[in-house]
Chains A and B, each alone.
Chain A
Amino acid sequence: MATKNNIHTLSVDSSTKHLAEVRDFVASHAKNVGLSEKDISEIRLAVDEAFTNIIKHAYKNTASKPVTIELGFNASQLWISIMDEGEGFKPDEYKAPDILKRIKNKQRGGMGVFLIQKLMDQVQYNRKGQMNEIRMVKNL
């Protein structure tokens, strides 16, 4: 874990075994910034969903691929960027899930992006060279 000014970085490989570690990393820094318990649990879940989507979709469940989580803050917001080198996500093609239809079809998934949008104040998807970034902001 690296720290520079108000930016904290955690690098892990693309395995679900790191989910708890990633959640705890963002939660402990969010706590230090003074966020409420409610905001902290929302950030934990949003980051979990973003990391899970990277494992499942960007890297198609291939373990040992690089994922970097950066967390920073200023007086007005806390931001978290999660970066990967897998297949990019196309937010324009995303549709919110119809849960009833999915249950009828015995499907699962598709809920993570929807939850992230509900839980965070701003969400951006960026492509920088071979790298994808999801940047999530919580207003303070």
Chain B
Amino acid sequence: MKNFTIAKRQIDSISVLDISGELDAHTASQLENSLKALIDEKQFKIIVNCSRLEYIASAGLGVFMAYIEDVRGLGGDIKLTNMNDRVYNVFDLLGFPTLYDIHDDEQEAIGGF
């Protein structure tokens, strides 16, 4: 079975989650727990760096859907960066690029906060 892993970094007031592997209905709860933990710690400026994300299913996108309103309501955002073309295509098919702040590069996203 392929793994899904999450590592957390802090850049000043911004929390970065580096996600790797395959994000599906089986692994989505790991991302959900990490996002919940950040919100509980009042870390509302969040970047999810997808450079090592190989695959995403709609269950993965569902996690972002469930938390974006809360985080934005608290003055933060969940910005997504460094997606490969296959992963971006899934977000695109569902119209996410107009609803989420998606950047090619993490530095751009940092500048957007």
**Using a CB–CB distance below 8 Å, which chain A residues touch chain B?**
16-17, 19-21, 23, 41, 44-45, 48-49, 52, 55-56, 99-100, 102-104, 106-109, 111-112, 114-115, 118-119
Contacts and interface: CB of A to CB of B under 8 A. Distances in A.
A125 to B, nearest CB: 18
B1 A21 contact: yes
B65 A52 contact: no
B101 to A, nearest CB: 13
Contacts of B93: 115, 118-119
B65 A49 contact: no
B58 A16 contact: no
11 contacts: A19-B24, A45-B55, A48-B24, A52-B24, A99-B95, A103-B65, A107-B66, A111-B58, A112-B58, A115-B94, A118-B93
Nearest to A113: B58
A41 B2 CA distance: 16
Interface of A is mostly: helix
B69 A106 contact: yes
Given A16-B24, A41-B86, A104-B69, A52 B59 contact: yes
A109 B60 CA distance: 10
B7 interface: no
Contact of B26 (A20, A107, A109): A20
Nearest to B56: A45
B1 A102 contact: no
Interface string B72-99: 0000000000000010001001111001
